[in-house]
């Protein structure tokens, strides 16, 4: 991903990226995106980066010795501080729908932002919504007040966020709509695909926004739209 593509991806929303992947692949059927409704700490912001992955749990205390938990936590932080940039922390809460541990609050968001990460994606919990740092959006499964017994189980592993499988190093785009993994073979085509998508959609928008349109006119517009996408 070059600087030009990175800059472009920061300006578009995740639905646009999903549509552009279909344009690049020349077909529908791509399904590597989140399911269900997620929450975003900064609705106007999108994040893009390579996944730094981990798993946590918080409903019950760990049964491992405290020194083991502390050592793993520090190894996790070292892992998050390294790797390709831009990067996104992608953390699966293994408590799933029962998740209560707000791992993403004022402290952890500021730490991860200082590591150079661009945001966090999780099926788990966030908090401290008025105190999170600018430029570090969190897309999460829920909001809650406490971190519970949160502890790191593992990192640098494949995780699942709202039905979306994410391998370490995968290119992820996320915003208030959810998240998508960009296929590796699509990355070189993505910039042109987004431009094609925007040009083709403009044909529709110019014809219908704020206007009245009969079916015959619409048929011609739609034909031009379909031709522009291919």
Whole-number percent of the chain with pLDDT over 70: 100
128 assigned to a ligand binding site: yes
What pTM, to 2 d.p., does this model score?
0.94
Q: What is the pLDDT of residues 41-77, one digit of tens each?
A: 999 999 999 999 999 999 999 999 999 999 999 999 9
131 assigned to a ligand binding site: no
Q: What is the pLDDT of residues 150-161, one digit of tens each?
A: 999 999 999 999
| Domains contained in the chain, CATH given | 31-182 (3.50.30.40), 188-229 (no CATH)
Whole-number percent of the chain with pLDDT over 90: 95
Q: Report pLDDT for 43.
A: 94
CA-CA distance, 25 to 209, in Å (whole number)?
A: 29
What is the mean pLDDT of the segment spanning 205-210?
Answer: 94
Q: Taking 90 as the threshold, does the pLDDT of residue 130 lie above it?
A: yes
Question: Rounded to the nearest 5 degrees, what angle is found at the Cα of 137, between the Cα atoms of 118 and 193?
Answer: 65
Q: Taking 80 as the threshold, does the pLDDT of residue 230 lie above it?
A: no
CA-CA distance, 187 to 170, in Å (whole number)?
A: 11
Q: Report pLDDT for 1.
A: 86
């Amino acid at each position: 991903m070059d600087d030009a593509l990175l800059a472009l991806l920061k300006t578009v929303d995740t639905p646009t990226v999903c549509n552009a992947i279909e344009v690049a692949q020349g077909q529908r059927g791509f399904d590597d995106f989140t399911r269900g409704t997620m929450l975003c700490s900064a609705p106007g912001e999108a994040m893009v980066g390579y996944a730094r992955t981990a798993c946590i749990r918080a409903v019950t205390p760990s049964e491992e010795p405290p020194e083991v938990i502390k050592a793993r936590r520090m190894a996790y932080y070292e892992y998050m501080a390294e790797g390709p940039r831009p990067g996104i922390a992608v953390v699966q809460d293994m408590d799933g729908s029962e998740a209560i541990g707000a791992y993403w609050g004022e402290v952890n968001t500021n730490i991860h932002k200082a590591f150079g990460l661009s945001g966090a994606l999780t099926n788990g919990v966030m908090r401290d919504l008025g105190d999170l740092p600018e430029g570090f959006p969190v897309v999460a499964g829920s909001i809650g007040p406490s971190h519970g017994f949160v502890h790191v189980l593992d990192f640098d592993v494949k995780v699942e966020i709202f039905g979306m499988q994410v391998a370490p190093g995968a290119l992820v785009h996320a915003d208030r709509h959810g998240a998508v993994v960009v296929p590796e073979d699509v990355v070189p085509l993505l910039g042109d695909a987004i431009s094609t998508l925007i040009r083709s959609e403009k044909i529709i928008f110019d014809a219908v926004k704020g206007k009245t349109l009969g079916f015959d006119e619409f048929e011609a517009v739609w034909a031009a739209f379909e031709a522009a996408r291919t």
